[in-house]
Structure 1
Amino acid sequence: MCRQSSAVDLGEALMAQNEIETVDALLVGAGIMSATLAVLLKELDPGIKLEIVELQESGAIESSNPWNNAGTGHAGLCELNYTAEAADGSVDIKKAVNINTQFEVSKQFWAYLIAKGAFTSPREFINPIPHLSFVRGAKGVNFLKNRFAAMSKHHAFAEMEYSEDRATMTEWMPLMMANRPADEPIAATRVLGGTDVNFGALTSQLLGYLNKQTASEVKCNQKVTGLQRTANGWRVEIKDTQSGQAREVNARFVFLGAGGGALPLLQMSGIPESKGFGGFPVSGQWLRCDNQEVVKQHQAKVYSQAEVGAPPMSVPHLDTRVVDGKTSLLFGPYAGFSTKFLKHGSFLDLPLSVRPSNLGPMLAVARDNMDLTRYLIKEVMQSQEQRLDALRKFYPDAKTEDWRLEIAGQRVQIIKKDPKKGGILQFGTELVAAEDGSIAALLGASPGASVTVSIMLELIERCFAGKARDEWVGKLAEIFPAREKTLESDAELYRKVSEHSDQLLQLANKSSVAAASV
């Protein structure tokens, strides 16, 4: 994926140490965000000169790695935290619809690349897996029933099924129904058209395709040490972490897509738009099962409700995962805490991110989120048996020997100024861009990877506004037959576009393929 430095490269660098390379776009971080943006830009303008620089030895090592994220292919089908319940019992589905249509936009881009021959088999990164929601207790059942009533009226969720019948639920999720208390009120919804996405494999395919293009490079072991605004963009100082060689690159546009590492780089830029942002790092843990006798009994992603007082990121789910052709189960997440912004980062990341401009918002968030602090302490102090107790609410017969702890990646939740509270902790993603569009950064976490394409299209429309409205219009329409707002309102077009994407991504016969893939 990455071009590695060689003796010749270093020799050339020493000979040309007074020369500064110029690129149209420099993208920091070789994860799903930068890889997607880079390929999009090359499709829109094949002559654009761009470079991706990555701190690690290869791409997709941090949040894009399949074991560092849930990897669901978030489409709003089963995630109960995307459908808020009002005091009167009504359910707001707007966020779920928005996420669903954004995922459909992602599918359009991947299908376009498949049709073009840019990728190999789509089965290397996307597999059909049913998405289920599961609730326990009378209150949960009532909520799910109301949610189903609201969602099934929208064309994006027309295929959703609801059941309180135990025989039906046993067919849908046999692993979870065995030896479940007979008097426990339970209910579930199912959508056969869900997917499991390996964003690490997808990133590798994007980077591989990018490396075949002219005027594009992916370089690893590269640390950005300085950002300075110039008359025509940015001068970026970069150090090779293996050789120690320093270089400078003039870039007309810079994207900071380094996951948790994006915040310190954004602060380094000094742009006014960066003021007031802070980060709250949260680590994740999962229980993982590779015992195929257990795995073959669960062919679904099943989401439930978070415990009372727990944050949205703690929504428990039991997921079928397909990674490199092998199927496993993941259950979690279990939260942890580290002051690192990246899994391979430094414990000084959090304290070094504190600035006079964000100290107030960070202190306000600390004051107003003591429940989150208590939750994290409780999670960190859990034993393996306590984690298994949580799993047994999903899978009553879970055996200790079948499950092991998997340490996931770091998530840096956004802290931003708020005129009333001083600061708020935001769960989600936010695109921060300079007024002139010369630099942009992506902050935050879920559902980031699944809606990457929509986020990068927003970036292009903000930072390359003139071209997006003019010379790129035709190509954008070719790649994306329908965008989010149209997909939300036009049922016939939604079905047509989704079916086309499914056919190219080999998801067309979802129910039979899902069973065969596990």
Structure 2
Amino acid sequence: MAKDIHIDKDYDLICVGAGIMSATLALMAKLFDPDMSILILERLDDVALESSAAWNNAGTGHSALCELNYCPQENGGVSIKKAIDICNQFEVSKQFWSYLVEKRMLENPSEFIKNVPHHSWVYGEDNVNYLKKRYKEMKAHFMFDTIEYTESIDKMKDWFPLIAEGRTSEEKIAASRINRGTEVNYGNLTRQLFKILETEFDTKVQCHHDVLDIDPDVDVEWSVEIKDLDSDQKKYYDAKHVFIGAGGGSLLLLQKVEIDEKEGYGGFPVSGEWLVCKNPEIIKQHNAKVYSKAGPHDPPMSTPHLDTRYIDGKKELLFGPFAGFSPKFLKEGSYLDLFKSIKLDNITPMLGAFWQNLPLTKYLIEQLAMSHEDRMNDLRKFYKNAKSDEWELLVAGQRVQIIKKNEFEKGELQFGTEVVSSKDGSITCLLGASPGASTATHVMLQVLDKAFPEILNSEKGKRLKADIVPSWNTEVDETLFKTQLKISEERLKLKT
């Protein structure tokens, strides 16, 4: 029987999970303090195999250019406040990546980011009126002033010919377009970031290491219990700070940590599925990301879109997402995950969230009952001439939507990304899904600011922040935004 061992080394930071979040956090920490000792643990064979994998996410550079759920209708108008926040957060990510290109750490940005115009497309008089209001609000703001709007079929044939094909001027449809939209392969980006960590900072990911528990330690902040899956041996690492960025697996691990802030959190797993085009000639005709509106009672994650993707150097065409269900919290997880997550402190919020979200339950049941032809009929609302034998279903990633207590101790289902942190910032955990990877830099800077304020707020830290991410945590005006946008596009070789 293998003997349990304690590793006699204290780490400044241990990251659990080898996805885009841990890669971003670890690399930023090293840029601010090269002497920081960091350990990254991953239970699978390699990095970026779960939520960060290219097939397991939408690949959209979420910047609110086309996603209508970031612009809700309010008091007869349309609010773009959230769109402004999301747009700025993605630009912060682009600034970080462009800094790495400038410093010759990232050598081939075109391998992970490409320019693909972002479009919103709607049908029906009410939706057309909404899109027109959204266009007017966005056009008046400097972040979105290049937006175009049309109700012309001829213009749509130029923007996205597959969707315009077979339509007439009698149909009530409208579309908007912003050329600077991006398609991002987060799997490729994650691998490149970890390569920088290994080659430039001697920080390598330890794969096949499953984190079992995280306990307080009398000498340092935390003791991390792991299982080496190659030797079946238990090991213990000490750390001053721990970041849990294990995708859907984060909740189960957070529940083992002895901090009050974890109380009341639950999760509901939803898997994503895509229709993938098999006909190269059809794929060639579409070069766009086209988002529409979710149904009136459907969740934001169900927003349908027809997307150009670039995966492993190959152009693809996807439509979805469709929802599936599995009690697993990770694609490579356990069928017991959902049941293990139910605790005394979260059972009431979870039941409350269930009763408040019966339409979501109905939606999931309907999605699970869909046949291939049912999914094709949804696609034909976009692309009228789609042929069933030219598309196949791909099961993508597994997401865990957050359930948390509100002020009335009742459960609410959250569709965003949330950082749960101890009061002293020594342990942080990332929960949730969208917009996720697109805002990784912004979110991980928040984690750094909470865990290592002395580094970010030092004179050196302030200078580096201004150099690496000029738009983060500052008032962004038109001059700053457009100056940094131009720099990022030039460095990342984005042509618009």
Q: Could you say whether these structures have the same fold, taking a TM-score greater than 0.5 normalized by the shorter chain as the test?
A: yes
Distance 2:16 2:319 in 1: 32
Out of 457, 474, 479, the position equivalent to 2:463 is 474
Answer whether contact 1:47 1:215 (CA < 8 A) is retained.
Answer: no
Tell me the distance in 1 between the aligned counterparts of 2:469 and 2:350.
40
The one of 42, 49, 52 aligned to 1:54: 42
1:356 to 315, 322, 344: 344
- Counterpart CA distance in 2 for 1:19 and 1:187 is 61
Task: Please say if 1:294 is aligned against 2:282.
Answer: yes
The whole-number CA distance in structure 2 between the counterparts of 1:228 and 1:460 is 21
Q: Deviations over 1:393-420 (max 9, x none)?
A: 0000101111110101111011000123
Partner amino acid for 1:373?
Answer: T
Counterpart amino acid of residue 294 in structure 2 = A
SS in 2 for 1:330: strand
| Structure 2 letter corresponding to 1:266 | L
CA contact (8 A) 2:348 2:411 kept: yes
Output aligned runs, 1:313-328, within 5 Å.
313-328=301-316
The one-letter amino acid of 1:269's match is: V
Aligned with 1:183 (options 170, 181, 189): 170
Which residue, 469, 487, 490 being the options, matches 1:500? Answer: 487
Give % identity: 48
Matched to 2:428, the amino acid is A
| SS at structure 2 position matched to 1:397 | coil
Residue 193 of structure 2 is aligned to residue 206 of structure 1: yes
Whether 1:134 aligns to 2:92 is: no
1:155 alignment partner, SS class: coil
Contact 1:278–1:414 under 8 Å retained in 2: yes
Once the 2 structures are TM-superposed, how far is the Cα of residue 325 of structure 1 from its aligned partner? 1.4
Alignment of 1:198-347 (within 5 A): 198-231=185-218, 232-347=220-335
CA offsets, 1:427-482, max 9 Å, x none?
Answer: 10000110111100000000010000000011111111222212422212211122
Question: Contact 1:341–1:349 at 8 Å: present in 2 too?
Answer: yes
1:242 CA drift (Å) = 2.2
Q: Could you say if the C-alpha distance between residues 485 and 317 of structure 1 is closer, same or farther in structure 2, counting changes exceeding 3 Å?
A: farther
Q: Which runs of 5+ in 2 are unaligned?
A: none
- The farther-off stretch of 20-29 and 196-205 is 20-29
Which residue identity does 1:486 align to in structure 2?
A: E
Q: Per-residue CA shift, 1:251-272, capped at 9, x if unaligned? A: 1110000000000111111210
TM-score normalized by the length of structure 2: 0.97
Name the structure 1 match of 2:92. 105
What 5-or-longer segments of structure 1 have no aligned partner? Answer: 1-12, 511-518
Pair 1:194 & 2:181 matched: yes
Partner Cα separation in structure 2 for residue 466 and residue 435 of structure 1: 16
CA contact (8 A) 1:50 1:215 kept: no
- Is residue 453 of structure 1 aligned with residue 445 of structure 2? no
1:308 deviation in Å? 1.9
Structure 1 residue runs of 4+, over 3 Å off? Answer: 16-19
User: What residue number does 1:147 align with?
Assistant: 134
Counterpart in the other structure of 1:173: 160
Structure 1 position 92 matched with structure 2 position 79: yes
1:105-125 per-position Cα deviation (integer Å, ceiling 9, x unaligned): 000000001111111210110
User: What does the per-residue CA deviation read over 1:294-342, in whole Å, with 9 as the maximum and x for residues that have no partner?
Assistant: 0111110000001121111100000000112110111000011111100
Aligned length: 493
- Report Cα offsets for 1:107-153 as digits up to 9, x if no partner: 00000011111112101100000000000011111000000000111
Name the SS of the counterpart of 1:282 in structure 2.
Answer: strand
Q: CA deviation at 1:166?
A: 1.1
1:515 is aligned to none
* Counterpart secondary structure, 2:420: strand
In structure 2, relative to structure 1, the CA distance for the partners of 1:199 and 1:19 (3 Å cut) is closer
Q: 1:345 and 1:73 mapped to 2: Cα distance?
A: 27
1:483 to 448, 472, 495: 472
Deviations 1:360-395 (A, max 9, x none): 100101111111101000001100000000000000
Deviation at 1:182, TM superposition (A): 4.1
Asked whether the equivalents of residues 224 and 236 of structure 2 are also in contact (C-alpha less than 8 Å), the reply is yes
Question: Is the partner of 1:250 in helix, strand or coil?
Answer: strand
The residue type paired with residue 198 of structure 1 is N
Match of 2:20 in 1: 32
Amino acid across the alignment from 1:450: S
* Counterpart Cα distance in 2 of 1:362 and 1:158: 42
